[in-house]
C-alpha cells in the first residue's frame, strides 16, 4: 500500500515535479495549522514581557515579535487566513461568475456585448486597488475582504467561462447537444459546465494566489481587520519598524510564508495549464486584468 | 457616413461608456460604504455647514439616480471634491503627486523591459533545458512575491545591513530641500538646476523603489516574452528560416519582430498590475506619489481622496491602452508602406 503510493509519487514526480512539490507545500501548511496545538504548542497570542524581540533560538525558532509573542506560532496560525479567505472568495467568484459567463456565452447578442464593455470598464481600475478601496469603504472585516475579492474574481471567471462556452458554441457543440434532444438544464449541467470548468481549472489556483496577495496587501496597509491578527500581511505591517531597527525575523518569516504559499499556488496553476485540456485560443475578451489570457502568452502580474 | 468617421464615432462612444462605468464604480464605492455618504466624504465629524454643503453639492437629499448623474457631471467636469483630512482639492493634490508616480513607473518599465527581453529570449531559444526551467521558476517566484515584501527585503539588505542605500524617506534626503519644479522629477529638475548634491540624493532615493518594481514587472514580462517568442518559433516562416540555415542573430531578429506586437500588448495589459505594485512600493518608501496618497486615504477613511485615486488610476490605465492602440496603428501603417 505505502510502497504503491511511493511509486505513484515517484511517477508523478518524474512527470510533474513542480506540481507535486506545490501540493506537498500546501498540504504541509494545512497539516501544520490543523496540528499546531500538538506540533508547536506555543499559543500565538501569548505575550512574554521578558522575551520581546528575541532573535531565533531553540525555544523560539523564528524569534519573538515586539509584544514578546512567538513568531513561529503566529506564522503557522496565519495560514488559516491564507486558506480561508482565498477559498471563500473563490467560491463566491465561481458562484457569481460562472452563471454570468454561461449566460453571456450561450445568449450572445446585446447582453454579451454589454457585459463585455462593463467588465472592460471596471477592469480599467487596477483590481487590487479597487478591492482595497471597497474594503476601506465597507469597513475592516474579513467578510468584506472576501466579498470584495470574490466580486472582482467573479469577473475573471465570467470572462473565462464566456470565452469557453463561445468556443464550444462555434464548434457546433451546443447545436449538436440541442439536436440530440438535451433540454437546456441538461445542456448546461451535463455538457457545458464540465467541459468548460475543466478548461479553466488552472485559473482556480491562480486566483487563489491573487486573493492571497490582495489579502496581504490589505493587511499590510492596515484595512483588512480592526484588531491585529496573525494574517501574514498585518504581521509584516507590525514588524516594519523592527525591521529597520535590525530585528528582521519579525518581517522576513511571515513574508517568506506568503512567498512560499503563493508560489505553490502559481506553480500548481502553471502545471494545470500545461498538462490540462487546452484553453480556447480566442483570449480577445480575456486580454486585460485581472484575468490571464488563454495559454501561456500573457501572464498576469503579481499584483 | 464615411467609414473612418463612423469608426471614430464608435470608438468615442465606447470610450465614453467605459468612462461612465468607471465613474459608476467610484460612485458605488461610496454607496456600498458603511455609513451615510456625507459622513464618508466629509470625515467622521463634519461641521453643520460643511455637511449641508456636501448634501447640496452631491444632491444627497435626492434619489440615488439623481446623485449618480450629478456625480458623473461633477467628475467629468474635473471636480473631484475635497479631502476632509487636508482640506485641499483632491484633483490638485493628485496632479501635484502624479509626476512622482509616473517617474517611478517609467524607470521601472524601462529597466524591467531591459531585464526581461534578453532573458525571455534566451529562455525561449533554450526551450525545456535546465536554463529555461530556471528562468521560468524564478519568474513564477517573482509573480508570487508580494511587492511590499520585496521592497522591505531590499531595504533590509541594502539599507539596514550593507548601509549603501538611503532610508525610505521619500524622493530626496530629508536634510535637502526639493529642487524647484520643472518636470516634476526631482532627479531631472536638480540635474537641470546643476545642483549635483540634490541630483545625487534624488538618484539614490530612486534606486531601490525602481529596482523593486523592475524586478516585479520583469518577472511577468520574462514569461510573456518567452511565450511570444515560442509562438513565433513555431510559425512556418520561422521553421523555414531555420531550415535555410540562417544565423542565430537573423533568427533572433525574425522571431523578435514577430513577437513585438504580443509583447507590446502584454505590457499594456500589465499597466493595471504595475499601478497596483507602484502604489504598494510607494507606500513602503514614503514616495509621495498618488499611490501612497491613495493607500493612506484608504487607511484614514478619506473617501473623496479614495474616489479620486480610483478615478486617476483608471485614467492612467486608459491612457496606456490608448497609447498602445495608437502605436499599434502607426506600426501597421508602416508595415503597409514597406
Q: Which of the residues in chain A have pLDDT under 70?
A: 1-2, 4-6, 8-15, 278-303
Q: Considering B41, B76, B111, which residue would you say is the last residue of a domain?
A: B76
Q: Give pLDDT, residue B222.
A: 95
DSSP assignment of B75-87 equals HHTT---B-TTT-
Count A/B contacts: CB-CB distance under 8 Å.
209
Residue B301 region by backbone torsions, left for phi larger than 0, else alpha for psi between -120 and 50, else beta: left
Q: Give pLDDT, residue A301.
A: 36
Q: Give pLDDT, residue A2.
A: 65
> Do residues B171 and B33 share a domain?
no
> Do residues B36 and B148 share a domain?
no
Task: State the residue for C-alpha cell 521553421.
Answer: B239
pLDDT band at B284 (very low <50, low <70, confident <90, very high): very high
Structural domain of B60: 3-76
Cβ neighbours of residue A212 closer than 8 Å, sequence gap 6 or more: A82, A85, A86, A258, A261, A262, A265
DSSP assignment of B167-211 equals -S-SSS-TTSPPPPPSSS-HHHHHHHTT-HHHHHHHHHHHHHHHH
ipTM confidence score:
0.94
Among B residues 233-262, those touching chain A with beta carbons less than 8 Å apart: 262
pLDDT in tens, B10-40: 989 999 999 999 999 999 998 888 878 877 8
Interchain pair A223, B299: CB under 8 A:
yes
Residue B14 lies in a domain: yes
> Do residues B61 and B166 share a domain?
no
- Which residues on neighbouring strands pair with residue B89, listed in sequence order? B82
Q: Considering B15, B50, B76, which residue would you say is the last residue of a domain?
A: B76
Alpha helix stretches (DSSP H) within chain A: 2-15, 17-34, 36-39, 71-107, 109-122, 127-138, 142-170, 173-179, 184-186, 193-199, 203-221, 232-244, 249-275
CB atoms within 10 A of CB A116: 16
> Do residues B114 and B72 share a domain?
no
Task: Evaluate the CA torsion angle A228, A234, A236, A240 in order and state its sign.
Answer: negative
Yes or no: say if B140 and B309 are a contact pair by the CB < 8 Å rule: no
Q: Minimal Cα–Cα distance from B1 to chain A, Å? A: 24
pLDDT in tens, A3-42: 766 676 665 555 677 888 899 999 999 999 999 888 888 8
Q: Give pLDDT, residue B311.
A: 97
Interchain pair A295, B310: CB under 8 A:
no
List chain B residues with CB under 8 Å of A126. 272-273, 275-276, 279, 313, 317
Task: State the residue for C-alpha cell 520561422.
Answer: B238
- Per-residue pLDDT averaged across B320-336, rounded? 85
- Which residues on neighbouring strands pair with residue A64, listed in sequence order? A70
Residue B329 lies in a domain: no
Q: Give pLDDT, residue B95.
A: 95
Q: Give pLDDT, residue A1.
A: 56
Residue B215 lies in a domain: yes
Interchain pair A297, B266: CB under 8 A:
yes
The total number of structural domains that make up chain B: 2
Rounded to the nearest 5°, which phi and psi values hold at A243? -60, -45
Mutate to test the interface with A, among B14, B161, B221, B269 (most CBs of A within 10 A): B269
Q: What is the pTM of this model?
A: 0.91
> Do residues B14 and B40 share a domain?
yes
Cβ neighbours of residue A184 closer than 8 Å, sequence gap 6 or more: none
Mutate to test the interface with B, among A116, A123, A126, A263 (most CBs of B within 10 A): A126
Q: Give pLDDT, residue A13.
A: 55
pLDDT in tens, B203-241: 999 999 999 999 999 999 999 999 999 999 999 999 999
Q: Considering B21, B44, B76, which residue would you say is the last residue of a domain?
A: B76
Q: Give pLDDT, residue A14.
A: 59
Residue B324 grid cell:
498602445
State how far Cα A157 lies from the chain centre: 13
> Do residues B22 and B131 share a domain?
no
Residue B322 lies in a domain: no
Query: Rounded to an integer, what distance in angstroms lies between the CA atom of residue B124 and that of residue A228?
Result: 45
Q: Hey, is the C-beta of B280 within 8 angstroms of any chain A C-beta?
A: yes
Residue B186: give its domain's CATH number.
1.10.3720
> Do residues B67 and B141 share a domain?
no
Nearest Cα neighbor of B155 from B209, B199, B108 is B209
Residue B324 lies in a domain: no
Q: Hey, is the C-beta of B123 within 8 angstroms of any chain A C-beta?
A: no
Q: Give pLDDT, residue A10.
A: 65
Q: Give pLDDT, residue A261.
A: 98
> Do residues B97 and B43 share a domain?
no
> Do residues B9 and B137 share a domain?
no
pLDDT in tens, B39-91: 788 887 778 888 888 888 888 888 889 999 999 999 988 889 889 888 899 99
> Do residues B68 and B209 share a domain?
no
**Shortest CB distance from B34 goes to which of A120, A139, A262?**
A139
Residue B306 lies in a domain: no
Q: Give pLDDT, residue A227.
A: 82
B143, closest residue in chain A (CA to CA)? A302
Vertex B218, ends A258 and B113: CA angle to 5°? Answer: 165
Residue B332 lies in a domain: no
> Do residues B106 and B53 share a domain?
no
pLDDT band at B181 (very low <50, low <70, confident <90, very high): confident
List chain A residues with CB under 8 Å of B14. 117
Q: Give pLDDT, residue A144.
A: 96
First to last CA, chain B: 30
Residue B305 lies in a domain: no
> Do residues B72 and B100 share a domain?
no
Amino acid at each position: 500500500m505505502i510502497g504503491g503510493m511511493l511509486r505513484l509519487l515517484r511517477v508523478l514526480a518524474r512527470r510533474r515535479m513542480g506540481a507535486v512539490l506545490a501540493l506537498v507545500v500546501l498540504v504541509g501548511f494545512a497539516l501544520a495549522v490543523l496540528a499546531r496545538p500538538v506540533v508547536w504548542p506555543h499559543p500565538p497570542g501569548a505575550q512574554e514581557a521578558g522575551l520581546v524581540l528575541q532573535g531565533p533560538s531553540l525555544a523560539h525558532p523564528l524569534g519573538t515579535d515586539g509584544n514578546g509573542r512567538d513568531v513561529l506560532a503566529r506564522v503557522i496560525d496565519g495560514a488559516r487566513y491564507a486558506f480561508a479567505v482565498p477559498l471563500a472568495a473563490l467560491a463566491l467568484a465561481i458562484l457569481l461568475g460562472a452563471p454570468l459567463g454561461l449566460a453571456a456565452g450561450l445568449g450572445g447578442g446585446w447582453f454579451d456585448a454589454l457585459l463585455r464593455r462593463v467588465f472592460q470598464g471596471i477592469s480599467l481600475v487596477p483590481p487590487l486597488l479597487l478591492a482595497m478601496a471597497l474594503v476601506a469603504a465597507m469597513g475592516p472585516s474579513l467578510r468584506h475582504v472576501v466579498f470584495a475579492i470574490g466580486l472582482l474574481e467573479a469577473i475573471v471567471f465570467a470572462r473565462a467561462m464566456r470565452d469557453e462556452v463561445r468556443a464550444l458554441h462555434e464548434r457546433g457543440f451546443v447545436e449538436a447537444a440541442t439536436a440530440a434532444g438535451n433540454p437546456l438544464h441538461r445542456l448546461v449541467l451535463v455538457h457545458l459546465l464540465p467541459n468548460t470548468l475543466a478548461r479553466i481549472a488552472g485559473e482556480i489556483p491562480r486566483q487563489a494566489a491573487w486573493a492571497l496577495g490582495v489579502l496581504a496587501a490589505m493587511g499590510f496597509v492596515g484595512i483588512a481587520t480592526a484588531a491585529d491578527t496573525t494574517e501574514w500581511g498585518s504581521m509584516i505591517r507590525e514588524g516594519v519598524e523592527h525591521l529597520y531597527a535590525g530585528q528582521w525575523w519579525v518581517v522576513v518569516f511571515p513574508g517568506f510564508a506568503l512567498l512560499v504559499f503563493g508560489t505553490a499556488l502559481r506553480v500548481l496553476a502553471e502545471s494545470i495549464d500545461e498538462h490540462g485540456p487546452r484553453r480556447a485560443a480566442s483570449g480577445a475578451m480575456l486580454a486585460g486584468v485581472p484575468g490571464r489570457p488563454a495559454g501561456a502568452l500573457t501572464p498576469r502580474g503579481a499584483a | 457616413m464615411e467609414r473612418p468617421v463612423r469608426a471614430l464615432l464608435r470608438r468615442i462612444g465606447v470610450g465614453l461608456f467605459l468612462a461612465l462605468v468607471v465613474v459608476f464604480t467610484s460612485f458605488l464605492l461610496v454607496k456600498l460604504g458603511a455609513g451615510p455618504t456625507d459622513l464618508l466624504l466629509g470625515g467622521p465629524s463634519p461641521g453643520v455647514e460643511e455637511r449641508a454643503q456636501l448634501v447640496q453639492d452631491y444632491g444627497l437629499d435626492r434619489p440615488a439616480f439623481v446623485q449618480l448623474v450629478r456625480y458623473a457631471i461633477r467628475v467629468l467636469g474635473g471636480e473631484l471634491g475635497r479631502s476632509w483630512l487636508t482640506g485641499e482639492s483632491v484633483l490638485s493634490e493628485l496632479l501635484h503627486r502624479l509626476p512622482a508616480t509616473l517617474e517611478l513607473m517609467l524607470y521601472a518599465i524601462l529597466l524591467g523591459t531591459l531585464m526581461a527581453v534578453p532573458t525571455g529570449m534566451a529562455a525561449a531559444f533554450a526551450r525545456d533545458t535546465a536554463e529555461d526551467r530556471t528562468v521560468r521558476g524564478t519568474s513564477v517566484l517573482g509573480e508570487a512575491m508580494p511587492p511590499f515584501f520585496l521592497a522591505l527585503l531590499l531595504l533590509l539588505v541594502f539599507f539596514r545591513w550593507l548601509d549603501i542605500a538611503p532610508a525610505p524617506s521619500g524622493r530626496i534626503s530629508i536634510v535637502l530641500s526639493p529642487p524647484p519644479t520643472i518636470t516634476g522629477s526631482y532627479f531631472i529638475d536638480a540635474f537641470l538646476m546643476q545642483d549635483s548634491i540634490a541630483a545625487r540624493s534624488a538618484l539614490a532615493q530612486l534606486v531601490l523603489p525602481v529596482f523593486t518594481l523592475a524586478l516585479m514587472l520583469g518577472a511577468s514580462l520574462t514569461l510573456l516574452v518567452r511565450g511570444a517568442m515560442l509562438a513565433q518559433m513555431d510559425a512556418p516562416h520561422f521553421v523555414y528560416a531555420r531550415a535555410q540555415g540562417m544565423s542565430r542573430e537573423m533568427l533572433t531578429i525574425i522571431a523578435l519582430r514577430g513577437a513585438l506586437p504580443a509583447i507590446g500588448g502584454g505590457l499594456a495589459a500589465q499597466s493595471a498590475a504595475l499601478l497596483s505594485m507602484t502604489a504598494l512600493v510607494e507606500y513602503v518608501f514614503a514616495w509621495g506619489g498618488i499611490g501612497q496618497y491613495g493607500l493612506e486615504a484608504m487607511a484614514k477613511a478619506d473617501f473623496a481622496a479614495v474616489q479620486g485615486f480610483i478615478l486617476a488610476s483608471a485614467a492612467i490605465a486608459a491612457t496606456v491602452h490608448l497609447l498602445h492602440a495608437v502605436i499599434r496603428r502607426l506600426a501597421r501603417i508602416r508595415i503597409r508602406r514597406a
